[in-house]
Amino acid sequence: MARNPDAVVIGAGIVGAACADALARDGMRVLVLDESFAGSGTTAAGMGHLVVMDDSPPQLALTAYSTRLWERLAHELPQNVEHEPSGTLWVAEDDDQLGAVYEKQRVYAEHGVAADVLSPAEVARAEPYLRPGLAGALHVPGDAVIYPPNGARALMARAAGNGASLREGVRVDAIGAREVIAGSERISCEYVINAAGAQVPRLTPGVPIVPRKGHLVITDRYPGFCHHQLVELGYLTSAHTMTTESVAFNVQPRATGQLLIGSSRELVGWDASINRAIVRKMLDRALDFMPALSSTSTIRTWTGFRPATPDKLPLIGPWDATPGLWIAAGHEGLGITTSLGTGQLLADLLAGRDTAIDAAPFSPARLHAGVGAH
C-alpha cells in the first residue's frame, strides 16, 4: 500500500474480515493485519452456525439483522463456504420448555423472524434420530450453517475487490494514537479497528474480554443422519451463565454429511488442551438427545476460545482512551452470525450514518468505566 491506509484492521477472522469488507465498500483504504492467516483463530474453531438468538433484546436484534444480511449474501458466496440453509430446531424436553418455545416464537415474530412450533410427531419426522418423548421444538427456517475459515476468506476477497489488502504473518505489538506498531514498522492511519477477538486485551488493556473455552467433536460422513442444526433450550442458560463449566446439546450437520457435536463452556484461561471429562459430559448430553450418535465414528476433537464479555454483548464502537481506536470484538459464540451486522454497524458509525439497529447496547464505553490511565 503506497499511501497510508485509512483504516488498519487487526485480525482477519470473520469479524475483522467483515469489517474490512464493509469499510472497503465505503471507499476506505483498508489494510488488514493477521498474525497467522485469515480465518485461523477462533473463526477456525467455531461451528459456523448462522443463528438468531434471544438471550437479550440487543442480541436478538443483532442476530436477526445479521442473519438477514447473510441470507442476502448467500447466493454470492463461493462454493467452499458451504452455505447450507439447514435451519435450527430448538428442542423442548418437557412442557415447561415447550412454554418457553412458544414464548420464543412470539419474541422472534416481533423481530420479523419466522419460526414455527413443531409437535412431537413433526419433530420425529423432521429428525428421526432425535429420541422419542420430546415435547416439541421451535423450527427457525432462516438459520443456516457455513464453513467459517472460507467464510472469512470470502469476505476478505470481497474487501480486496474494493482495494483492501491483507498481510498475513504480521503480529501487531502495539496500538498508538492513529497508528499501529508491528516489529520495526509504524503504520499511520485514521482508524485502527481492533478485531482480534479474545486477544483484544493484549493490545488494548482494560477491554473486558476473556477467553471462554469450548470443545467440539466431528464425526465421519453420515449423510441424511441430521438435517437441521439441533440445539437444546438449555444452550441459552449455558451461554448466559458465566459458571466454571457447562455443556449443552448442539449438533450440526455439515455440508459434507459430517456431524459436528458441541457444546461446552469453561473459563480456564488459554489452556487449549482437550479436557476429557468435559468431552465426555458433552457427548453424554448429545447421546441423551440422539442415542444413535453412539455408534458414529469420531474423527477429531478440538478446542477454541470464544471472546466473552461481562454482559454477553459484543463491543462495536470507539474506544475513547485512544484516539482513532475502534473495537469490534467480544461476540462469544455468535461471531460467525453477527460478523456481517458488526461490520455494517461499524462502517455506519464511522461514517456518521444512522444504523439499521440501535448500536448503543454495543458501545464499548458502557464497559469502559472511567476514561483515563490504562
Closer to another protein at the Cβ: 160 or 365?
160
Among 9, 10, 286, 329, binds another protein (CB under 8 A): 286
CA–CA dist 350, 247 (Å, integer): 38
Q: Residue from 72, 106, 186, 276 that binds another protein (CB under 8 A)? A: 276
Q: Binding another protein by CB under 8 A: which of 110, 302, 353, 358? A: 302
Q: Which of 205, 294, 354, 373 binds another protein (CB under 8 A)?
A: 294
Nearest to 265 by CA among 227, 292, 234: 234
| Size of residue set near another protein by CB under 8 A | 37
* CB 166 within 8 Å of CB 12: yes
Residues 149-208 that bind another protein (CB under 8 A): 149-150, 153, 168-169
Nearer CB in complex with another protein: 37/107: 37
80 to 139, contacts with another protein by CB under 8 A? 80
Q: Which is nearer to another protein, 125 or 280 (by Cβ)?
A: 280
Cβ within 8 Å of residue 135, ≥6 positions away: 92, 93, 94, 95, 97, 98, 120
Query: DSSP code of 39?
Result: T
Residue labelled with grid coordinates 415447550: 98
Among 7, 32, 170, 261, binds another protein (CB under 8 A): 261
- Whichever of 242 and 272 has its CB closer to another protein, that residue is 272
Crossing angle (nearest 10°) for helices 335-351 and 14-25: 30
For another protein, which is the closer residue by CB, 46 or 142? 46
CA 293 to chain centre: 26
User: What pairing do the DSSP bridges indicate for beta strands 136-140 and 179-182?
Assistant: unpaired
Minimal distance, residue 235 CB to another protein, in Å: 19
- Looking at the Cβ atoms of 16 and 317, the one nearer to another protein is 16
Q: If you ran DSSP here, which 8-state letter would residue 343 be given?
A: H
Residues in the chain: 374
Query: In Å, what is the CA distance from 192 to each residue of 5, 49, 54, 273, 317?
Result: 10, 28, 31, 32, 11
Q: How far is the CB of 149 from another protein (least distance, A)?
A: 4
Which residues make up the interface to another protein (CB under 8 A)?
37, 39-40, 44, 80, 149-150, 153, 168-169, 217, 219-223, 256-257, 261, 274, 276, 279-280, 283-284, 286-287, 293-302
